[in-house]
C-alpha cells in the first residue's frame, strides 16, 4: 500500500469536514424473499450447515444471492458473471431429497427462485445510479464483491447512462482522493470503516436494499481535547465528521430484518477440517511427499497453499515501488495481507524448473535423474532403517541418527526439506556428504555435488530471467487493474513462462499444514 503523506492525511480530514453521506434505498420483493428464505434455511440446519454436502449446496447459492444483492449488474448479467453451474447445483438438490428430505423443499424453493431471478434483464440499482451519474457527470463506485469488478466495469462502459462511471476498490480508498462523488453498493457494514469515517470523496452515496439493516453512523477517529461529551461526539481533532442523510425507507413492509453479515458468502475456516473442502486429504498416503505450508485466502474467492519449509520463498509485487524492487522474493513468514502474490496460472509446472531445464539443455534429463536418484536412495535406506513412516517422522529419526553419528547437526526440518523434490541440495557440502554417507553413496559425493550445483546455477539463471521478463511486463503495464480488482494477469509468452497472475492476499493462516507437494502453489477456487 502506498503510504499517505502528512499533507494527504490533512486533506482527508478536510474532506471529512465537507463530506455528506446520503443513503438511498431500493427494493426488490423477489430478492428479499430469496435472501430471507436462505437465512431461514441456514438457521434451520443448525450445526449440520458445516457438513461437506451443505457447503457444496449453499456455497453457490450464497454466492449468487450475494452477487444479486451487491452488484449493480442486471440480474441476468450477474448470474452469468457468477459462473453458476446449474446442472451441478440441481443434482445436489436432487441428492438432498435422499439425504436430507426434511430440508429438500426449502432448498429446491430457494434454487428455483434464484433461477427465476436470473432471467430478469434489469437491476433495482440501475435507476438510482443513472440519476446520480446524470447529476454529477460521473462517479466512482465501490463494491463489496471484487470478483465482479471487471464485469461491472465492462457494463458501465457499454451503458450510455453510466459510461463515465468507474469501479474502485476499498484498497484504493486508503491511498488517494479519487473524485468528488463515491457510490457504495450495499450497506456501510460491508465496507471497512475508513471508507466513510476517513472519506476520499466529498459526496458519498450509499445505495442499498431496504431489507438489509444498516445502523452505521460516523464516529470520531481523533477526538478534540476539550473533554466535552458534545465535542467528542461530533468532531475530529482535525475537521468535522461526515454528515449523514437518509431517504425514507421505500414501501411500508416494516423495518429491515437482515443483518449485513447474513448475506456474505462464507470462506472455509483456517483449520484442518477445511482441508477436505479444498480437495486435500486429511491424512496423506504413507510415504507421500508432503511439505509444511500455510493457507492464503486470495482476492476473488481463491486460495493457495504456500510452502513454509525452510528456505521457501514467494514472488510478490509491491505496487508502491516503481523501480526493480516492484517485484521481489520474500520468505514465507514475511507474507502478509494486502501483498500481491504471484502465481503461475498457465504454462504448466514450476516455471523456474521448466526454464532451468531449457538452460541445462542436453544435460537436463541426466541431472534430474541424478537429483531424483540420491533422494530416492536416501528415503529407501531411511525406511529400511526406521520403518515405513511419514516424511516428517522419517526426517526426525534421520536427523537424530546424523547427530548421534556426529555427521551433521541438521534439524529435522532441514532433513525433511532435503528429502523433498523442491530441494536441489543442502546449502553446506558437508551436510550433503553426511546424508550420502548415511545412504551408502559416499563414493559419489563429489560427482553428485557438482551435478547438483549445475542444477542450482540453472535455477538461479532461470529466476533472474523470469524476473527480468516480469519487470519488463509490469513496467509497461498500468497496475490500476491490480489495485482495483485485487488480481491481474501478466503474459510472459508461451516460450518463456506462460502466464503469471498476481492476487491480493486477504488473509493467511498462522497454522502450518502438511500438504502433498504437488498441491503447493496450485490456485484453488473457494467458490466452486
- Domain boundary residue among 95, 117, 139? 117
* Residue 290 bridge partners (DSSP): 516
Q: Which three cell numbers stand for residue 104?
A: 429438500
Alpha helices (H) in 100-124, listed in sequence order: 101-117
Residue 467 has pLDDT above 80, yes or no: no
Q: Hunting for cell 457447503 — which residue is that?
A: 55
Residue 301's pLDDT is: 81
pLDDT tens digits for range 325-337 = 778 888 888 888 8
| pLDDT-above-70 percentage for the chain | 81
Instruction: Tell me the C-alpha distance between 511 and 178, whole Å.
Output: 38
pLDDT tens digits for range 454-464 = 999 998 888 78
Is residue 307 domain-shared with residue 434, that is, in the same domain? no
Residue 233's pLDDT is: 42
Helix axes 412-419, 364-386, angle to 10 degrees: 130
| pLDDT-above-90 percentage for the chain | 32
Residue 164 has pLDDT above 50, yes or no: yes
Q: Which residue has the higher pLDDT, 465 or 377?
A: 377
Q: CB count, 10 Å around CB of 476?
A: 7
Q: CB count, 10 Å around CB of 487?
A: 22
pLDDT tens digits for range 236-249 = 333 455 666 666 55
Among the listed ranges 301-305, 316-320, 356-360, which one has the minimum average pLDDT value?
Answer: 316-320
- Kindly state whether residue 422 falls inside one of the protein's structural domains: yes
Is residue 158 domain-shared with residue 82, that is, in the same domain? no
Among the listed ranges 365-369, 439-443, 478-482, which one has the minimum average pLDDT value?
Answer: 478-482
Instruction: From 199, 151, 473, select the one nearest 342 (Cα to Cα).
Output: 473
pLDDT tens digits for range 168-218 = 988 888 876 667 799 999 999 999 988 888 888 888 999 999 999 888 877
Is residue 401 domain-shared with residue 445, that is, in the same domain? yes
Q: For the residues 90-105, what does the mean pLDDT come to?
A: 92
| Contact yes or no for 147/167 (Cβ under 8 A) | no
Is residue 409 domain-shared with residue 473, that is, in the same domain? no
Residue 9's pLDDT is: 59
Q: Which residues of 65-90 are buried (b: 16+ CB within 10 A; e: fewer)?
A: bbbbbbbbbbbebbbebbebeeeebe
Is residue 386 domain-shared with residue 515, that is, in the same domain? no
Is residue 109 domain-shared with residue 163, that is, in the same domain? no
Name the band, by pLDDT with cuts 50, 70 and 90, for residue 483.
confident
**% helix / strand / coil in the chain, to the nearest 5?**
50, 15, 35
Residue 262's pLDDT is: 85
Instruction: Tell me the C-alpha distance between 165 and 155, whole Å.
Output: 10
Name the band, by pLDDT with cuts 50, 70 and 90, for residue 11.
low
Q: Which residue has the higher pLDDT, 138 or 267?
A: 138
- Domain boundary residue among 117, 143, 178? 117
Q: Are strands 302-307 and 290-298 parallel, antiparallel or unpaired?
A: antiparallel
Residue 312's pLDDT is: 81
- Kindly state whether residue 192 falls inside one of the protein's structural domains: yes
| Contact yes or no for 274/493 (Cβ under 8 A) | no
pLDDT tens digits for range 19-70 = 888 899 999 999 999 999 999 999 999 888 888 888 888 889 999 999 999 9
Is residue 312 domain-shared with residue 299, that is, in the same domain? yes
Residue 2's pLDDT is: 53
Selection from 146-155, 315-324, 401-410 with the highest mean pLDDT: 146-155
Q: CB count, 10 Å around CB of 408?
A: 23
Instruction: Tell me the C-alpha distance between 300 and 145, whole Å.
Output: 8
Is residue 287 domain-shared with residue 408, that is, in the same domain? no
- Kindly state whether residue 23 falls inside one of the protein's structural domains: yes
Is residue 179 domain-shared with residue 214, that is, in the same domain? yes
* Helix and strand element counts for the chain (H, E): 17, 15
Q: CB count, 10 Å around CB of 64?
A: 27
Q: CB count, 10 Å around CB of 273?
A: 11
- Kindly state whether residue 71 falls inside one of the protein's structural domains: yes
- Kindly state whether residue 216 falls inside one of the protein's structural domains: yes
- Kindly state whether residue 486 falls inside one of the protein's structural domains: yes
Q: CB count, 10 Å around CB of 311?
A: 14
Residue 246's pLDDT is: 65
Number of domains observed in the structure of the chain: 4
Instruction: Tell me the C-alpha distance between 26 and 6, whole Å.
Output: 39
pTM of the model: 0.73
| Contact yes or no for 21/198 (Cβ under 8 A) | no
Residue 15 has pLDDT above 70, yes or no: no
Q: Which residue has the higher pLDDT, 421 or 10?
A: 421
Instruction: From 246, 202, 225, select the one nearest 17 (Cα to Cα).
Output: 202
Is residue 285 domain-shared with residue 323, that is, in the same domain? yes
| Contact yes or no for 203/182 (Cβ under 8 A) | yes
**Sequence-ordered list of residues with C-beta below 8 angstroms from that of 417, at least 6 positions apart, any chain:** 291, 309, 310, 311, 423
Is residue 21 domain-shared with residue 131, that is, in the same domain? yes
- Kindly state whether residue 256 falls inside one of the protein's structural domains: no
Is residue 18 domain-shared with residue 135, that is, in the same domain? yes
Instruction: From 109, 132, 99, select the one nearest 203 (Cα to Cα).
Output: 132
Residue 237's pLDDT is: 36
Q: Hunting for cell 538461479 — which residue is that?
A: 460
Residue 520 has pLDDT above 90, yes or no: no
Residues in the chain: 528
Which residues constitute the domain of residue 74? 29-117
Residue 113 has pLDDT above 80, yes or no: yes
Residue 222 has pLDDT above 50, yes or no: no
- Kindly state whether residue 138 falls inside one of the protein's structural domains: yes
- Domain boundary residue among 436, 458, 480? 458
Instruction: Tell me the C-alpha distance between 14 and 239, whole Å.
Output: 6
Amino acid at each position: 500500500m502506498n503510504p499517505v503523506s502528512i499533507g494527504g492525511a490533512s486533506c482527508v480530514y478536510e474532506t471529512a469536514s465537507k463530506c455528506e453521506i446520503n443513503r438511498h434505498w431500493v427494493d426488490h420483493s423477489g430478492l428479499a424473499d430469496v435472501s430471507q428464505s436462505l437465512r431461514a434455511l441456514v438457521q434451520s440446519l443448525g450445526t449440520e450447515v458445516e457438513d461437506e454436502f451443505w457447503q457444496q449446496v449453499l456455497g453457490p447459492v450464497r454466492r449468487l444471492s450475494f452477487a444479486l444483492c451487491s452488484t449493480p449488474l442486471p440480474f441476468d448479467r450477474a448470474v452469468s458473471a457468477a459462473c453458476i453451474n446449474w446442472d451441478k447445483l440441481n443434482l445436489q438438490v436432487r441428492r438432498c431429497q435422499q439425504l436430507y428430505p426434511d430440508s429438500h423443499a426449502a432448498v429446491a424453493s430457494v434454487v428455483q427462485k434464484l433461477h427465476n431471478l436470473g432471467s430478469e434483464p434489469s437491476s433495482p440499482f440501475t435507476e438510482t445510479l443513472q440519476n446520480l451519474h446524470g447529476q454529477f457527470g460521473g462517479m466512482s463506485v465501490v463494491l463489496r464483491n471484487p470478483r465482479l469488478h471487471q464485469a461491472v466495469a465492462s457494463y458501465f462502459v457499454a451503458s450510455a447512462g453510466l459510461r463515465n462511471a468507474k469501479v474502485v476498490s476499498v484498497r484504493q480508498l486508503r491511498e488517494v482522493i479519487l473524485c468528488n462523488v463515491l457510490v457504495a453498493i450495499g450497506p456501510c457494514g460491508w465496507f471497512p470503516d475508513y471508507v466513510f469515517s476517513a472519506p476520499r470523496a466529498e459526496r458519498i452515496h450509499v445505495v442499498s436494499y431496504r431489507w438489509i439493516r444498516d445502523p452505521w453512523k460516523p464516529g470520531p477517529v481523533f477526538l478534540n481535547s476539550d473533554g466535552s461529551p458534545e465535542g467528542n461526539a461530533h468532531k475530529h481533532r482535525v475537521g468535522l465528521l461526515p454528515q449523514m442523510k437518509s431517504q425514507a425507507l421505500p414501501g411500508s413492509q416494516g423495518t429491515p430484518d437482515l443483518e449485513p453479515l447474513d448475506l456474505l458468502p462464507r470462506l472455509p475456516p483456517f483449520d484442518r477440517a477445511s482441508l477436505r473442502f479444498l480437495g486435500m486429504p486429511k491424512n496423506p498416503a504413507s510415504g507421500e511427499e508432503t511439505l509444511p505450508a500455510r493457507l492464503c485466502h486470495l482476492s476473488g474467492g481463491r486460495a493457495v497453499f504456500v510452502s513454509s519449509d525452510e528456505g521457501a520463498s514467494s514472488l510478490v509485487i509491491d505496487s508502491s515501488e516503481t523501480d526493480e524492487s516492484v517485484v521481489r522474493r520474500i520468505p514465507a513468514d514475511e507474507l502478509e495481507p494486502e501483498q500481491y502474490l504471484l502465481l503461475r496460472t498457465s504454462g504448466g509446472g514450476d516455471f523456474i524448473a521448466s526454464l532451468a531445464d531449457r538452460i541445462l539443455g542436453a544435460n537436463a534429463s541426466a541431472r534430474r535423474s541424478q537429483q531424483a536418484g540420491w533422494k530416492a536412495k536416501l528415503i529407501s535406506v531411511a525406511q529400511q532403517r526406521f520403518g515405513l513412516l511419514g516424511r516428517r517422522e522419517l526426517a526426525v529419526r534421520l536427523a537424530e541418527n546424523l547427530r548421534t553419528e556426529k555427521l551433521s547437526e541438521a534439524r529435522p526440518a532441514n532433513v525433511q526439506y532435503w528429502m523433498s523434490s523442491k530441494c536441489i541440495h543442502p546449502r553446506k557440502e558437508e551436510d550433503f556428504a553426511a546424508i550420502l554417507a548415511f545412504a551408502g553413496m559416499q563414493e559419489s559425493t563429489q560427482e553428485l555435488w557438482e551435478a547438483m550445483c549445475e542444477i542450482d546455477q540453472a535455477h538461479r539463471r532461470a529466476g533472474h530471467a523470469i524476473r527480468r521478463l516480469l519487470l519488463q511486463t509490469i513496467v509497461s503495464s498500468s497496475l490500476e487493474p491490480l489495485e482495483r480488482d485485487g488480481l491481474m494477469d501478466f503474459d510472459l509468452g508461451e516460450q518463456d513462462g506462460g502466464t503469471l497472475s498476481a492476487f491480493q492476499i486477504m488473509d493467511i493462516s498462522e497454522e502450518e499444514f502438511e500438504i502433498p507437494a504437488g498441491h503447493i502453489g496450485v490456485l484453488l477456487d473457494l467458490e466452486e
